[in-house]
Amino acid sequence: MKFDTPAGQNPIDQLKVVGKPHDRIDGKYKTTGTALYAYERNDAVANHAYGYMVGSAIAKGRINAIDLAEAKGAPGVIAIVTAANAGKLTKGDFNTANLLGGPEIQHYHQAVALVIAETFEQARAAAQLVRVDYARGKGRFDLATELKGAPLKPAEDKGPPVDRVGDFEGAFGKAAVKLDARYTTPDHSHAMMEPHASIATWEGDKLTLWTSNQMIAWGKGDVAKTLGLPKENVRLISPYIGGGFGGKLFVRTDAIMAALGAKAAGRSVKVTLQRPLMINNTTHRPATMQRIRIGATKAGKITAIAHESGSGDLPGGQPETAVNQTKLMYAGANRLTSMRLAVLDLPEGNAMRAPGEAPGLMALEIAMDEMAEKLGMDPVAFRIANDTQVDPEKPERRFSQRQLIKCLQTGADSFGWNRRNAKPAQVRDGKWLVGLGMAAGFRNNMLMKSAARVGIDRKGIVTVTTDMTDIGTGSYTIIAQTAAEMMGVDLDKVVVKLGDSDSPASAGSGGQWGANNSTSGVYAACVKLREAVAQKLGFNSTDAEFADGKVRSGNRSVSLAEAAGDAGLVAEDAIEYGDLDKKYQQSTFAGHFVEVGVNAYTGETRIRRMLAVCAAGRILNPKSARSQVIGGMTMGAGAALMEELAVDKRFGFFVNHDLASYEVPVHADIPHQDVIFLDEVDPISSPMKAKGVGELGLCGVGAAIANAIYNATGVRVRDYPITLDKHLDKLPEIA
């Protein structure tokens, strides 16, 4: 199905099933332990062996020699895989570093060996006996140092090195009110609950991988390329994923090493990355150093805005696109954005939930707060005054929907923003300094081709099959809702099968694109199936009504079961997009509001309440969408207050590479959270008239917390995370 004109009235608009707060279909399986994750697929693979990864002990250099003799002689050892015996490997399209190191080492904890044994304990014990002689090389590990000579780098090598509109320097020089400030965000880890894990088995030259991967079609292609196999000889299966946040968008070393291990052992092998290895071996969100300049009239109209960001990655990597939202967020005739990319020998930087906008808004929305204060304006009013309904760089291109003002006004009214004391450090609650902060949220809506197969059997059961994944986001449920709405059946009459590369290729889970695109693919297949049903029954497909498990046309009514017959009916199709996303700017918006308390004695920050107001197209399932948003808000709290990968700049690794020392929020850190969804449909986006919301819940939260801390204390911290040591000595004196 080609989607190249705005959606009109269609069966989804009935909203009998779609748009309702249904419980997650997969919930009962996950809460009872019957949802089997990749490492648990003992039902599918018998007599498997265990692989244990050995990671490089240096960040840069070479392996002189590996002594495997003692490890090979350890109890239960079946085989050991290294670069010396793995055969020719090619780097996948989505990997920056090789997934198996040797003799060259590109980063700390790069895989250098896999020990395969009869039991996990035997493999782990033998892995300690692998002796590696390294020649340590000189590495580049300090972002601030390396950025000094780093080149300008457009995203994915597209566009000019410096993106200009108008005359920024001239307008900024003449501006009545100016801000020029610098902000930093640290490296972040995905820290998902389920580690990277795979089970591999070979049947001749055909490989099957049960793996934890968000993007099945991408993964299949990269496994095939890395191992030198035809794509048709690779099958990936990933029906349940215990969190990914972008860290499982791409094939990682667990999958490739499991495949190599199974080949070497002559039997199935399961591999999971041990938690201390994950943080340096896999990808992370890169640190940024950002400079923001804003010039405005005394009345508060922005006349000049510039956002420059620097980040680092391994050779061949890409920048963290922290300037993305600044291109589109606020009006202003004179604009400048640019990015620098330093070459670092740290582990690979890549996508993490809301790449670009998440760290970019952590800076931009503090800058907007600082500018509002300079102008003597309320922060909400300042943002509203600089709203735009068109792309500021291409004014002929309107937003398909843009309800940022309503998000901010609704949030301010609901949160009690009018009770905020604009003068910092004035409100106390016992030993706590209390402050309110807010920020705008923004995330682009991305469109991707997505396919599905939908069938009806002789019992009237509708089955949807697609390689779409569910990473805890509720894909099973919204896909079932879509099919139920389109085919006129109850939700319990729909079966959804996900996460198998033998199924039609979907958009996959990532970038906030999964829900809208995957359900649109199901919609397309259902349209085709409805036509097949109508044709078989001799009905006019344009006036056939599907409801209550039946199809009606005129005075005739036939059950879907009867229409399907013993052979059943099946249809397959994909949603493919035209150029509407080029004619219209498609984005999602939010208003984030936070109240914090800062201990006047210790500097400890406690979040007291949070609110997100979101405008993100049609909300397909308010219950699961709310879960996505509060999850994003929680991640934003972590980024604001505690999350930071500490870099050892001597030896080039993240020191706190476990969940004991890489702090993430726990229940005690998170207070009551409210979420409000604005009533919005976007017919420009898709036939579902939806967009995405999972990453929008994160975008802007960090800055809202930072602004609340400033309002509470009068101390402005521009370097995340905002730990107590950064403002303790500047807190107001205690009377």
Mean pLDDT of 662-667: 96
Mean pLDDT of 141-158: 94
**Three-state secondary structure call for residue 343:** strand
pLDDT beyond 70 at 647: yes
Instruction: Express as a percent the part of the chain with pLDDT over 90.
Output: 98
Same domain, 462 and 496: yes
Same domain, 441 and 451: no
pLDDT beyond 70 at 124: yes
**Tens-digit pLDDT profile for residues 357-383:** 999 999 999 999 999 999 999 999 999
Q: State whether the Cα torsion 150-155-159-165 is positive or negative.
A: negative
Long-range interactions of 537-542: CB distance < 8 A, separation 24+? 537/563
At 493, the amino acid letter reads K
Q: What is the pLDDT of residue 158?
A: 84
- 726 burial (CB, 10 Å; 0-12 / 13-18 / 19+) is middle
Same domain, 547 and 558: yes
At 250, the amino acid letter reads F
Q: Is this prediction's pTM over 0.85?
A: yes
Same domain, 709 and 624: yes
Q: What is the pLDDT of residue 440?
A: 99
Range of the domain at 503: 2-35+447-582
**Count of the separate structural domains present in the chain:** 2
Which of these three, 555, 582, 609, is where a domain ends? 582
| Distance in angstroms (rounded) separating the CA atoms of residues 110 and 278 | 10
**Three-state secondary structure call for residue 579:** coil
- Residue 440 within a domain: yes
Long-range interactions of 274-278: CB distance < 8 A, separation 24+? 274/52, 274/53, 274/195, 275/195, 275/658, 275/659, 276/657, 276/658, 277/53, 277/55, 277/109, 277/657, 278/189, 278/195, 278/196, 278/657
**Tens-digit pLDDT profile for residues 500-525:** 999 999 999 999 999 999 999 999 99
Same domain, 542 and 612: no
Which of these three, 540, 555, 582, is where a domain ends? 582
pLDDT beyond 90 at 586: yes
Q: What is the pLDDT of residue 429?
A: 97
| Distance in angstroms (rounded) separating the CA atoms of residues 437 and 664 | 21
Which of these three, 536, 552, 582, is where a domain ends? 582
**Tens-digit pLDDT profile for residues 214-267:** 999 999 999 999 999 999 999 999 999 999 999 999 999 999 999 999 999 999
- Maximum alpha-carbon separation in the chain: 85
Q: What is the pLDDT of residue 320?
A: 98
Q: Is 531 a catalytic residue?
A: no
- Residue 698 within a domain: yes
Same domain, 617 and 689: yes
At 74, the amino acid letter reads A
**How sure is the predictor about 155, in pLDDT bands with cuts at 50, 70 and 90?**
confident
As a three-state string, the secondary structure of 664-691 is CCCHHHCCEEEEEECCCCCCCCCCCCEC
**Tens-digit pLDDT profile for residues 587-629:** 999 999 999 999 999 999 999 999 999 999 999 999 999 999 9
Same domain, 629 and 714: yes
**Tens-digit pLDDT profile for residues 671-728:** 999 999 999 999 999 999 999 999 999 999 999 999 999 999 999 999 999 999 999 9
| Distance in angstroms (rounded) separating the CA atoms of residues 451 and 477 | 17
pLDDT beyond 90 at 439: yes
Same domain, 514 and 531: yes
Q: Where are the beta strands (DSSP E) in 413-529?
A: 428-429, 432-444, 450-456, 462-465, 494-497
- Residue 6 within a domain: yes
Tokens found for residue 355: 């790449």
Same domain, 608 and 620: yes
**Tens-digit pLDDT profile for residues 291-310:** 999 999 999 999 999 999 99
- Residue 497 within a domain: yes
Please provide the average confidence, as pLDDT, over all residues in the chain: 97
CATH number for the domain that contains residue 529: 3.30.365.10
Same domain, 434 and 569: no
| Distance in angstroms (rounded) separating the CA atoms of residues 453 and 465 | 5
Same domain, 705 and 613: yes
Same domain, 691 and 631: yes
- Residue 572 within a domain: yes
Region for residue 158 given its phi and psi (left: phi exceeds 0; alpha: psi -120 to 50; beta: otherwise) = beta
Comparison of pLDDT for 46 and 665, the residue scoring more:
665
Q: What is the pLDDT of residue 471?
A: 97
- Residue 498 within a domain: yes
Listed in sequence order, the residues at least 6 apart from 91 whose beta carbon sits closer than 8 Å to its beta carbon are 97, 98, 99, 226
DSSP letters spanning 136-149? EPP----HHHHHTT
Helix 475-487 to helix 514-537 angle (10° resolution) is: 30
pLDDT beyond 80 at 735: no
At 586, the amino acid letter reads Q
**Candidates 365, 572, 644, 695; catalytic one:** 695
- Residue 722 within a domain: yes
